[in-house]
């Protein structure tokens, strides 16, 4: 019995060590951080990245009015099958926001889903899309956010049940789903390449428009085919060419005005997305439309 107990203890200890190693946070490597530090950040360029990335849509207070310089105090609640996630304060406030973060810490959050304290972020924060973002855009975005108004609103805790309260396990989720591979592999024109970058990286369109499996990972085999709304209310629409049926010009106009070809108006969370998209250059909206029309 003593030998059996010892064997069980050894196996349990080995399993714990293996789990701890497999779930460890893996931040950006030294060479990438060195390249990031050497960049000259431009807040003006960062503003365009900010609107393309949809930061305000999630991180302003609920029912906040549109503003050129939004207050990113957080507080919006997002219901999912795993519980409710509360958007954090990402204003430049040093106590409750991200004002004390270095550029490297900001980049590790955006590209690896890791907090300054070394914890995994939940993928409700779409770092699985942002991982494809260019270092220059990350540096510029950080510089722009630093120019925005501060908010001293404290962060609220997520409303999750066990075992989803155990962040360490997200290391396994990242091993399954966190990749910088592109879904659309071939982009024969500069416009299509730009559209892919906006859709698959900055604007993270698939986070809503692609169905998820039971572990919350995107089902890339059903890319942009819509699916159940995580809140439990209705469905997110299929925006593949055959199902949507809109021309590239109609898609671009919708992203600018919110009006569909059938004279409906964008509503719900999509209304906030359109308000951000309307701030982009017309060429960017056209590139997004070209990408969506090129989907198989």
**pTM for the structure as a whole:** 0.91
| pLDDT at residue number 21 | 66
| pLDDT at residue number 20 | 60
| pLDDT at residue number 184 | 96
| pLDDT at residue number 110 | 98
At residue 149, does pLDDT exceed 80?
yes
The share of the chain scoring above pLDDT 70, in percent, equals: 93
* Plot region of 260 (φ>0 → left; ψ -120 to 50 → alpha; else → beta): beta
| pLDDT at residue number 125 | 95
Cβ atoms of 77 and 84 closer than 8 Å: yes
Q: Could you give the 3-state DSSP secondary structure of residue 7?
A: helix
Among residues 162, 157, 129, 136, the alpha carbon closest in space to that of 37 is found at 136
Distance CA 264, CA 65 (A): 22
The share of the chain scoring above pLDDT 90, in percent, equals: 75
192-198 LR contacts (CB < 8 Å, sep 24+): 192/287, 192/290, 192/291, 192/294, 194/283, 194/284, 194/287, 195/287, 195/288, 195/289, 195/290, 195/291, 195/292, 195/294, 196/291, 197/132, 197/134, 198/52, 198/284, 198/287, 198/288, 198/291
Query: In this predicted model, what pLDDT tens digit does every residue of 62-87 receive, in sequence order?
Result: 877 777 789 999 999 998 888 899 99
Query: In this predicted model, what pLDDT tens digit does every residue of 244-291 receive, in sequence order?
Result: 999 999 999 999 999 999 888 888 888 999 999 999 999 999 999 999
């Amino acid at each position: 019995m003593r030998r059996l107990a010892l064997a069980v203890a050894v196996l349990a200890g080995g399993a714990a060590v293996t789990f701890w190693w497999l779930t460890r946070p893996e931040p950006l490597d030294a060479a990438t951080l060195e390249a990031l530090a050497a960049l000259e950040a431009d807040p003006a360029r960062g503003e365009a990245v900010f609107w393309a990335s949809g930061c305000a849509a999630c991180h302003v207070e609920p029912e906040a009015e549109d503003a050129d310089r939004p207050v990113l105090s957080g507080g919006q609640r997002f219901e999912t099958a795993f519980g409710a996630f509360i958007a954090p304060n990402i204003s430049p406030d040093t106590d409750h926001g991200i004002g004390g973060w270095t550029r490297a810490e900001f980049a590790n959050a955006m590209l690896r889903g890791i907090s300054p304290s070394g914890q995994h972020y939940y993928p409700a924060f779409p770092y699985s899309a942002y991982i494809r973002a260019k270092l220059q855009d990350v540096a510029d975005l950080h510089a722009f956010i630093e120019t925005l108004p501060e908010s001293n609103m404290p962060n609220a805790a997520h409303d999750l049940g066990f075992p989803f309260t155990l962040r360490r396990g997200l290391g396994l989720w990242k091993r399954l789903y966190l990749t910088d591979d592109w879904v659309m592999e071939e982009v024969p024109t500069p416009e299509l390449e730009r559209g892919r970058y906006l859709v698959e990286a900055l604007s993270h369109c698939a986070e809503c428009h692609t169905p998820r499996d039971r572990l919350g990972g995107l089902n890339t085999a059903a890319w942009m085919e819509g699916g159940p709304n995580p809140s439990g209310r209705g469905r997110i629409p299929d925006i593949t060419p055959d199902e949507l049926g809109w021309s590239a010009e109609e898609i671009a106009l919708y992203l600018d005005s919110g009006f569909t070809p059938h004279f409906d108006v964008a509503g719900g969370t999509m209304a906030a997305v359109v308000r951000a998209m309307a701030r982009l250059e017309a060429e960017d909206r056209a590139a997004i439309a070209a990408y969506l029309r090129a989907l198989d």
